[in-house]
Amino acid sequence: MSTGSVEVVYRGIFQKTLAKNICRGIVFAARKEGRIGIAFGRYGDSPERNGIPAKQFAVVADTEEELEEYLSRYEPDNNDVTIVTDDTLCKGIESWAWYGLQPINKLLKEGGTLLVTSTRSTESLIGDIHRKEEPYNLATVKSSASFSGLWVYKDDHTDVRLLGALARVAPHIISLDSIVAAINEPKKNAAKEASARKAHDQIASTAIGPDNGNDAVPFKFELPGWKKMEECLVIRGVGARQQVPGWEGGHVPARNPTFKKFTTRTMRPVINFDTCTKCTICWLQCPDTCFDITPDGYYDANMEACCGCGICEAVCPVDKCITMVNEEAFRDHRSQWEMWHKDKQAYAAWLSEKTADQPARSHGFHHPGQYAEEIANEPR
Amino acid sequence: MSPADTATTKQADNEVAPRAETEALISGSEAVAHAVRLADVDVITAYPIRPYDTVMQYVSKMIADGDFDCEYIVAESEHSQFEIVKHASAVGARVFCGSSGVGWFYAFEALAVTAGLRLPMVAMVGNRALDDPGAFGVEHNDALAVRDLGWMLAWVSTAQEALDTALIAYRVAEDPRVFLPCAISCDGAFLTHSQSIVKVPSQAMVDSFLPRYSRGDKQLHPDNPITIAPQVNEDWLMEIRRQSDMAARRARDVIIEAYQDFNARFGRGGEPFIERYMMEDAEVAVIGMGTLAMPVKVAVRKMRQHGRKVGFVRVRWFRPFPARELQNALAGVRAVGVIDRDFSFGSTFFSGVLANDLRSALYPLKNRPKILSFIAGLGGREVRTNNVIDVAGKVFDAASGADIDEQNTYWIGVRE
């Protein structure tokens, strides 16, 4: 056994308890082996807004001295395993007060394992995950983004399934026996133990090399030094509008150039411009001012500003004019209006493809009971 | 007997004391909540501000779970929050309160009068940067602001120490020789939000260590007709201040006694006032408070592997300031580097608060070590092992006569 750290990336606030339970489970299991550990959240993420990418960590060690190195860290950067409890996070992580887009595998050590809860194929996930110089492994536990531990949501065993899988991909951190011992305390729980054992036995890893993955360069920006930063906490306005070629006569508001919302959302609005009545309600009600006004008076959701809240879909008076679609259906942040403007027929085909076969959502639902319906159909 | 000897000399009693502790995976805030429960506190007031508010969440959960019973009042501001427990303390209730950052500052009037009235409130400060700019990370300036008022101030570095120090704080604050409030500082995030394995003592162990709070004939009660908090002028005030001064002086001995007894009963607790780490043969020393201890200890071990004789002294109690202990610990070293997780703009050499007090404490020494002042980790920025190695390297340079300006303050980890 040796020192090891596990990063858990999740969607706040929905999965906070799940992430906490995973990290606590790791430390409890370590204790069964006479080892010590700590569990902590990456503090800068809190207060956790609806769907914000957030993190917790668990570190286990043989001695206090080994553990000490981690005790004053916000974000251990050489993790044995990164657990991802919502596969839309494979596109990366941005958070308030961070520094651009952090690839999901960035803090994983060479040879480490990215452990994702997902019903998607490895190939599909790899398409989202940024390329990484050092080789690592990818493994999935079959599950959609779980709400386990959130208020009244059912305990669906996602925590113990991930712990069982963890014991398989990183046995030097924690053994299955210890996980099982921790699960059965203070009370024996045969069903949870069986879930952990099953996940342990079923998990398979795929080796990922430097040529596999999304080759896009992650968005980033430079943090200024104290000599360059404006004094007296002054933040200059960014102006009222942006001049965008092809958008003359429309209105594209100026936006914070350093905080994009590429990964905050788990779904995005898809707009049927053919049925849009230009009623302005989506544009008025959007809390993030994400709608650009097109030169011909339509409203186009800008994917640098949309956080995927779904209010536009809820307030739109036209049936199926705005549809929220799971992010996994998209690989880019293109303007939908530009696509439509250029080729209306091709756009109609794109639109029906995106809205016809919608993959499950990770949070935010069309109707009461949708989450229960989705998890009922999941493989176990 | 020097304080350093207490742990070993009391060893014999340890077998006698019944030890019954359970292990729990809890954060620093939760550890303090357990201490509050075990101290059977009577009145608690809450008002939310991060990161201290987690302690109130844990306390209210204990009450809801039926594990703890007390008057738990959610106030409408920090000022009222601290006023309510101040009055409760005057009528003889054991009280607990707390805050962070500018929340603590909003209670400032109440903080001043609590110390002035000699009321033994125990508070937790979840250290947080002062606004503006709004930030959640740790800086020590919030708690340090009351350093001249009669508040006792402790800084802890682990969740276990947070629990233990809270128990010690009640014993010291409520001792009739002292009757001064005490604030326990826990670094925001690193302690308040990190869970580690903590030994939670049994009620019987705590009861044997911590007597009930009694104000005796100073208790406000209809059967004991007294008035407190009078209006006075120049003809009274100076004598009252001198009394508080004596109470702060007496607190030193009471703290030493409390640590002796705590070590005997619990088998841990360490030396009162300061922690010495690898100081036996140290040529230079690094000084700091709170969770800074973690990267510093790692750095000290790494440097010692390369034969660099560096040690670390962690200041556990800032008020009363352990001048004697620091003189004793640092008399033999050639140079000292003080890392402040705080600032004192415009002060002597533009240093941090700890550096300024340490300079005063070491001035009477015949062979004073050189003292370098460093500012690091503000707003919760990580202080990395390499940062500390850089600091210690500069201190070694100063020790070996390199031309390093002692009348300057060095900022570590700031973007230029």
Return the higher-pLDDT residue of B53 and A358. Answer: B53
Q: How far is A355 from chain B (nearest CA, A)?
A: 41
| Distance between CA atoms of residues B342 and A149, nearest Å | 39
**Cβ pair B194:A71 closer than 8 A:** yes
Range of the domain at B249: 3-266
> Which residues of A lie inside 8 Å of B (Cβ-Cβ)?
23-24, 27-28, 31, 36-41, 43-44, 46-47, 65, 68-69, 71-74, 223-227, 233
User: Do B374 and B306 reside in the same domain of the chain?
Assistant: yes
**Quick check: B349 and A12 in contact, CB under 8 A?**
no
Q: Would you give the DSSP letter of residue B55?
A: H
The strand pairing partners of A38, in sequence order, are: A59, B196
For B374, which DSSP code?
E
Instruction: Identify the closest residue of chain A to B193 by CA–CA distance.
Output: A40
Number of domains in chain B: 2
Which residues does chain A have within 8 Å of residue B136's beta carbon, measured at their own beta carbons?
A: 43-44, 46
Same domain, B278 and B350: yes
User: Can you tell me whether residue B335 is helix, strand or coil?
Assistant: strand
For chain A, the C-alpha Rg in angstroms (whole number) is 22
Closest Cα in chain A, distance from residue B68 (Å): 21
Same domain, residue pair B49 and B185: yes
* Contacts of residue B264, Cβ cutoff 8 Å, sequence gap at least 6: B10, B13, B14, B17
* CA nearest to B195, candidates A10, A22, A175, A168: A22
* Inter-chain CB proximity A43 and B291 less than 8 Å: no
Who's near B73: CB < 8 A, 6+ residues apart? B43, B44, B45, B46, B84
Q: Which residue of A has its CA nearest to B188?
A: A43
- Using CB atoms, which residue from A71, A223, A227 is nearest to B291? A71
If you average pLDDT over residues B303-315, what whole number do you get?
98
**Residue in A145, A43, A59, A18 with CA at minimum distance from that of residue A98:** A43
Task: Please answer yes or no on whether A69 and B295 come within 8 Å at the CB atom.
Answer: yes
**C-alpha B160, offset from chain centre:** 14
- A72: which chain B residues are within 8 Å (Cβ-Cβ)? 190, 291-292, 294-295, 382-383
Question: Whole-number mean pLDDT of chain B?
Answer: 94
Binary contact (A224, B301; C-beta < 8 A): no
The predicted structure's pLDDT at residue A363: 65
**In the block, which residue shows the tokens 């690592």?**
A136
Q: How far apart are CA B288 and CA B281, in angstroms?
A: 19
Phi, psi (degrees; rounded to nearest 5) at A288: -110, 15
At residue B135, what are phi and psi to the nearest 5 degrees? -150, 150
Q: Is residue B416 part of a domain?
A: no
Count of Cβ atoms closer than 10 Å to residue B74 Cβ? 13
Per-residue three-class SS string for chain A: CCCEEEEEEEECCCCHHHHHHHHHHHHHHHHHCCCEEEEEECHHHCCCCCCCEEEEEEEEECCHHHHHHHHCCCCCCCEEEEEECCHHHHHCECCCCCCCCECCCCCEEEEEEEEEECCCCHHHHHHHCECCCCCEEEEEECCCCCCCCCCCCCCCCHHHHHHHHHHHHCCCCCCHHHHHHHHCCCCCCHHHHHHHHHHHHHCCEEEECCCCCECCCCCCCCCCCCCCCCCCCCCCCCCCEECCCCCCCCEEECCCCCCCCCCCCCEEEEECCCCCCCCCHHHHHCCCCCEEECCCCCEEECCCCCCCCCHHHHHCCCCCCEEEEEHHHCCCCCCHHHHHHHCHHHHHHHHHHHHHCCCCCCCCCCCCCHHHHHHHCCCC
Name every chain A residue with its beta carbon within 8 A of the beta carbon of B301.
65
Instruction: With a cut of 90, say whether residue B270 has pLDDT above it.
Output: yes
Q: How far is B232 from chain A (nearest CA, A)?
A: 42
Alpha helices per DSSP H over B153-214? 159-173, 203-209
* Residue in A28, A31, A40 nearest the CB of B193: A40
The domain that holds B67 is classified in CATH as 3.40.50.970
The verdict on B129 and B161 lying in the same domain is yes
**How far is CA B149 from each of CA A102, A201, B113, B249, rounded to the nearest angstrom?**
46, 63, 9, 13
The ranges assigned to domains in chain A are: 4-208, 241-257+267-360
All residues of chain B having their beta carbon less than 8 Å from the beta carbon of residue A69 are 294-295, 298, 385
pLDDT at B2 over 50: no
Contact flag A27-B195 (C-beta cutoff 8 Å): yes
A39: nearest CB among B195, B298, B385: B195
Task: Give backbone dihedrals phi and psi of B391, rounded to 5 degrees, phi first.
Answer: -60, -50
SS3 content of chain B, % helix, strand, coil (to 5): 40, 20, 40
Predicted pLDDT of residue A222: 87
Do B292 and A72 make contact, defined as CB atoms within 8 angstroms? Answer: yes
Confidence band of B14 (pLDDT split at 50, 70, 90)? very low
- All residues at 6 or more sequence positions from B206 whose CB lies less than 8 Å from its CB, including other chains: B38, B39, B167
Give chain B positions within 8 Å (CB) of A227.
416
Interface predicted TM-score of the whole assembly (ipTM), two decimals: 0.89
What CATH architecture applies to the domain A241-257+267-360? 2-Layer Sandwich (3.30)
Give the pLDDT confidence of A170-219 residue by residue, as tens digits.
999 999 999 999 999 989 999 999 999 999 999 999 999 999 999 999 98
Grade residue B416 by pLDDT with cuts at 50, 70 and 90. very high
Residues in chain A with CB shorter than 8 Å from the CB of B195 are 23-24, 27, 38-40
CA torsion angle B221 B227 B228 B234 (round to 10): -170
How many other CB atoms are found less than 10 A from the CB of residue B78? 26
Interface residue ranges in chain B relative to chain A, Cβ cutoff 8 Å: 23, 25, 27, 50-51, 132-133, 136-137, 158, 188-190, 193-197, 291-292, 294-295, 297-298, 301, 380, 382-383, 385, 414-416
Is the same domain home to B126 and B174?
yes
C-beta separation of A114 from A136 below 8 A? yes
B169 and B199 assigned to the same domain: yes
Give residue B173's pLDDT band: very low, low, confident or very high (50, 70, 90).
very high
Dist. CA A138–CA A112, nearest whole Å: 9
Task: Please answer yes or no on whether B294 and A224 come within 8 Å at the CB atom.
Answer: no
Residue among A24, A71, A96, A234 with most chain B CBs within 10 A, to mutate? A71
Span B48-63, average pLDDT: 96
Taking contacts as CB-CB distances below 8 angstroms, the residues of chain B near A41 are 193
DSSP state of B369: P
Asked whether the CA dihedral B280, B282, B288, B294 is positive or negative, the reply is negative
**Cβ contact, residue pair B190, A72, below 8 Å:** yes
Cβ pair A115, A204 in contact under 8 A: no
pLDDT of chain A along its 380 residues, tens only?
Answer: 578 999 999 998 889 999 999 999 999 999 999 999 999 988 766 667 778 888 999 999 999 988 988 877 888 989 999 999 999 999 999 866 567 889 999 999 999 999 999 999 999 999 999 999 999 999 999 988 898 888 777 789 999 999 999 999 999 999 999 999 999 998 999 999 999 999 999 999 999 999 999 999 998 888 899 999 999 999 888 889 999 999 999 999 999 888 788 888 889 999 999 999 999 999 999 999 999 999 999 999 999 999 888 899 999 999 999 999 989 899 999 999 999 999 999 999 999 999 987 666 666 666 777 777 777 776 55
pLDDT at B252 over 50: yes
- Distance from C-alpha of A197 to C-alpha of A131, rounded to nearest angstrom: 32
Q: Which of B50, B133, B416 sits opposite A233 (nearest CB)?
A: B133
Judge: A72–B196 Cβ closer than 8 Å, yes or no. Answer: no
Q: How confident is the model over B118-135, as a mean pLDDT?
A: 95
- Measured between CA atoms, how close is B229 to chain A, in angstroms? 41
Cα of B413 to nearest chain A Cα, Å: 11
Spatial separation of the C-alpha atoms in residues A76 and A61, rounded to whole Å: 14
Written as six digits, the tokens of B140 are: 């020590």
Both B262 and B331 in one domain: the answer is no
The answer to whether B356 touches B318, Cβ cutoff 8 Å, is no
Q: Cβ A226–B415 below 8 Å, yes or no?
A: yes
Measure A225 CA to nearest chain B CA, in Å. 4
Q: Are strands B317-319 and B335-340 parallel, antiparallel or unpaired?
A: unpaired
Mutation target to probe the A interface, by most A beta carbons within 10 A, among B193, B312, B389 is B193
Contact B35, B167 (CB under 8 A): yes
Residue A315 burial (C-beta neighbours within 10 Å; 0-12, 13-18, 19+): middle
Which among B23, B132, B382 is the nearest to A74, CB-wise? B382
- The Cα A329–Cα A352 span in angstroms is 12
Q: Tell me whether residues A39 and B194 touch, CB distance under 8 A.
A: yes
The rounded distance, in Å, linking the Cα atoms of B82 and B87 is 9
Indicate yes or no: CB of A74 within 8 angstroms of CB of B189: yes
pLDDT of residue A378: 66
Residues B73 and B45 in one domain: yes
C-alpha span between B48 and B99 (Å, rounded): 8
Cα–Cα dist A131/B87, whole Å: 62
Which whole number is the average pLDDT over B233-239? 93
Shared-domain flag, residues B172 and B296? no
- Asked if residue B126 belongs to a domain, the reply is yes
Q: Judge if B258 and B327 occupy the same domain.
A: no
Q: Is the same domain home to B387 and B285?
A: yes
Chain CA centroid to CA A344, Å: 32
Q: Which residue has the tokens 């990770």?
A: A362
pLDDT value at B8 more than 50:
no
| The pLDDT of residue A370 | 77
CA-CA-CA-CA dihedral for A191, A192, A196, A197, to nearest 10: -30
- Measured at the CA of B135, the angle between CA B129 and CA B136, to 5 degrees, comes to 75
Report angle CA A45, A49, A53 to the nearest 5 degrees.
Answer: 50
C-alpha A304 chain-centroid distance: 16
Q: CA of B416: which chain A residue's CA is closest? A: A225
CA distance A192 to A189: 6
Angle at B27 (CA atoms; ends B188, B254), nearest 5 degrees = 80
Question: Do residues B7 and B271 lie in contact, with contact meaning Cβ atoms separated by under 8 Å?
Answer: yes
CATH classification of the domain holding B327: 3.40.50.920
Distance from CA of A265 to the nearest CA of B (A): 24
* Spatial contact of B398 and B333, defined as CB atoms under 8 Å apart: no
Whether B136 and B95 share a structural domain? yes
User: Rounded to whole angstroms, how far apart are CA atoms A7 and A109?
Assistant: 11
Class (C level, CATH) for A4-208? alpha beta
Query: Do B416 and A41 lie within an 8 Å CB cutoff?
Result: no
Residues contacting A373, CB < 8 A, separation 6+: none
Residue A68, min C-alpha distance to chain B (Å): 5
pLDDT over 80 (residue B177): yes
Closest among B169, B185, B151, B141 to B28, alpha carbons compared: B185
Q: Chain B: residue nearest A68 by CA?
A: B294
Instruction: Quote the pLDDT of residue B312.
Output: 98
| pLDDT score at A94 | 81
Which of A72, A99, A221, A231 to substitute to test the interface with B, most B CBs within 10 Å?
Answer: A72
Tens digit of each residue's pLDDT (9 = 90 or more) over A77-136: 899 999 999 999 999 998 665 678 899 999 999 999 999 999 999 999 999 999 999 999
In Å, what is the CA distance from A4 to each residue of A76, A108, B100, B159, B251? 10, 11, 33, 21, 43
Q: Taking CA atoms, what residue in B is nearest to A30? A: B197
- Reported as a pLDDT band with limits 50, 70 and 90, residue B6 is very low
